[in-house]
Amino acid sequence: MNARRVAAVVRRHSYGFLNSPTRIVVFSFWPLLDLMLWGLITTFLRRAGTELPVAVSFFLGAILLWDLVFRTKNSVALCLLEENYSRNVITVMASPITPGEYLGGAVAFGLVKTFVTFAVMSVLAWALFAFGVLQVGAMLAVYAAILIVFGIALSLVVIACVLRLGFAADELTWVLAAVLMPFAAVFYPVAALPGWAQTVAWLMPPAHVFELMRADLAGVPAEWGSLWTAIALDAAYLAAAFALARAMFTSFLRRGLITRYM
Amino acid sequence: MTLLYDIEARGLVKTFRDVRAVDGLDVLVERGDTVALLGPNGAGKTTTLMMLLGIISPDAGSVALLGHRLPEGRTQALERTNFTASYVSLPYDLRVKQYLWVYADLYGAPRGRAMETLELFRIAHLADRKNTELSSGQRTLVGLAKALLNRPQLLVLDEPTASLDPEVGQDTRRVLMEEQARDGFTIFMTSHNMSEIERLCRRVIFLAHGRAVADGTPAEIAARYGREDLEGTFLSIAEEARR
């Protein structure tokens, strides 16, 4: 792993991001919109004195943490998509960079964007809606790590699809997290889902994390078994997604799919 | 005396579905030589280049670049190789100098080389422009500047001057020849501009249906086909290939 080449990928995407005022505005707009929406719902429920089985502030914690999955997946996968849009894939692949180095750079760039967004949203949640993300408790860093790793696994699935399908996989970048979101039980307990969907939910690390977070905010002791299940599922999905991306890269070389970019 | 081959590809085969794009091709290019791979559209030139760069895996055969066998030695080989093509685009969201800095880092070259290579092609004034603000000819020159960033030992060019006007094309060939004379690098290229090939290349390999049908100096091959120049030779080979 050559650190200079990894840093070059980070630099390439940082330049692209900072050169584009539109991208900066869009990058800031969606998290802000989500925060305002769920912040106002939280405020409304607090004022109405609605009785819920969980702390009302949970909604804000949920949107802050779910954004870690969504942002990581998008930021990492978009690195390859940017090369795809620019029809620059061939120049990258003809350079000495290895797939691992490119992925390392994309993950590093994605994590920087994710952490910046999380920090800004957390400060705004505290300033506008008096929700301190640290209320989640000492496990916040562990929950965040589980969600980020799941986001990286999703980004690898998108990258695998981009390698195999090219531009046709574009929509998948945006849709994948949204399709999974109902099963992740972000805003409601897993028990609220129909039976078959609960089975799917328990196979997803975020569902375990959000159940644990609801318990934390309600002052209920954490179920460590659920935490270990989430970590084990994360590891399994990351390994499977990595294997899928690797297989698609090999297939890309074998099928000569680079000819799409000529 | 042992010959040093910067490109040593033997028995290359590549089939896409039921089309055999490259069919048992050997490509041996000596150090410091300038060699062109020519042939009609669909002859297998670009597929061959992509196999040499490790971007397409051959179905059979072997490739060694600068003494490194692919795919294992791909990174070591590509650190001292560079490539550009007329169909290569540039990242639309980067400025020219940023693009070159990124690729200087990828190739382990000093970032100061970015301005040096832009000056070689007389386009230093474009350094702060975004890639979207360039004409197709200017993008081609930026691609060539990128290709010289790491002072490559092997330069692979696919239609390098296709979008350049005759004057800029001539200037570009002069820069390539001067740089080659100074640094002694090997050039392996394709082009449909036969007069360019005659001026630049010591040797040409003609492909038809993925096979080498002629290999030698431009004059030798033209004489073999009873033609006066490469243009006529190309037409004869293309006609033979159609039969």
The tens digit of pLDDT for each residue in B176-221 reads 999 999 999 999 999 888 888 988 899 999 999 999 999 999 989 9
How far is B210 from chain A, CA to nearest CA, in Å?
A: 15
Could you tell me the two tokens for B99?
Answer: 């693009």
Residue A102: pLDDT over 70: yes
Check CB contact of B130 with chain A, cutoff 8 Å. yes
A-proximal residues of B, 42-71, CB under 8 Å: 46-47, 50, 53-57
What contacts B28, CB < 8 A, 6 or more positions away? B3, B5, B7, B8, B9
Among the listed residues A229, B197, A97, B125, the one whose alpha carbon sits nearest the alpha carbon of residue A89: A97
pLDDT, residue A54, reads: 60
Q: What is the rounded average pLDDT for all residues in chain A?
A: 88
Lowest mean pLDDT among A32-46, B58-72, B162-176: A32-46
Residue B2: pLDDT over 70: no
The mean per-residue pLDDT over the stretch A128-135 comes to 82
pLDDT, residue B210, reads: 92
Could you tell me which chain B residue has the CA closest to the CA of A99?
B75
- Show residues of chain A in contact with B63, CB under 8 Å: none
| Partner-chain contact B55 A85, CB within 8 Å | no
Could you tell me the two tokens for B65?
Answer: 């670049």
| Partner-chain contact B106 A86, CB within 8 Å | no
Phi, psi of A227 (to 5 degrees): -65, -45
- Substitution target in A1, A9, A12 with the highest count of B β-carbons within 10 Å is A12
B-proximal residues of A, 11-30, CB under 8 Å: 11-12, 15-17, 19-20, 23
Residue with tokens 């999955």: A69
Check CB contact of B238 with chain A, cutoff 8 Å. no
| Partner-chain contact B107 A95, CB within 8 Å | yes
Q: How many residues does chain B have?
A: 243
Check CB contact of A251 with chain B, cutoff 8 Å. no
Residue with tokens 């070059």: A8
Q: What is the pLDDT of residues A189-233, one digit of tens each?
A: 999 999 999 999 999 999 999 999 888 877 787 778 899 999 999
| Closest Cβ–Cβ partner in B55, B93, B105 for A7 | B105
Residue A50: pLDDT band (50, 70, 90) is low
Residue B6: pLDDT over 60: yes
Rg of chain A, C-alpha, whole Å: 19
Which alpha helices (DSSP H) does chain A contain, by range? Answer: 3-18, 21-48, 58-85, 89-93, 99-129, 140-165, 170-180, 195-202, 205-217, 224-255
| Partner-chain contact A20 B93, CB within 8 Å | yes
Check CB contact of B15 with chain A, cutoff 8 Å. no
Residue B36: pLDDT band (50, 70, 90) is very high
Residue A107: pLDDT over 70: yes
How far is A237 from chain B, CA to nearest CA, in Å?
A: 28
pLDDT, residue A57, reads: 73
The mean per-residue pLDDT over the stretch B119-131 comes to 95
Check CB contact of A108 with chain B, cutoff 8 Å. no
Q: What is the pLDDT of residues A51-72, one digit of tens each?
A: 665 666 788 888 889 999 999 9
- Substitution target in A81, A90, A248 with the highest count of B β-carbons within 10 Å is A90
Residue A92: pLDDT band (50, 70, 90) is very high
| Closest Cβ–Cβ partner in B14, B83, B91 for A16 | B91
- Substitution target in B12, B80, B98, B105 with the highest count of A β-carbons within 10 Å is B105
- Adjacent-strand bridge partners of A180: none
Check CB contact of A165 with chain B, cutoff 8 Å. no
- Show residues of chain B in contact with A91, CB under 8 Å: 83-84, 88, 103, 143, 146
Check if the beta carbon of residue A165 is closer than 8 Å to that of residue A81.
no
- Substitution target in A18, A27, A91 with the highest count of B β-carbons within 10 Å is A91
**Model-level pTM?**
0.89
DSSP string, B56-99: S--SEEEEEETTEETTTTHHHHHHTEEEEETT----TTSBHHHH
Residue B1: pLDDT over 70: no
- Show residues of chain A in contact with B90, CB under 8 Å: 86, 88
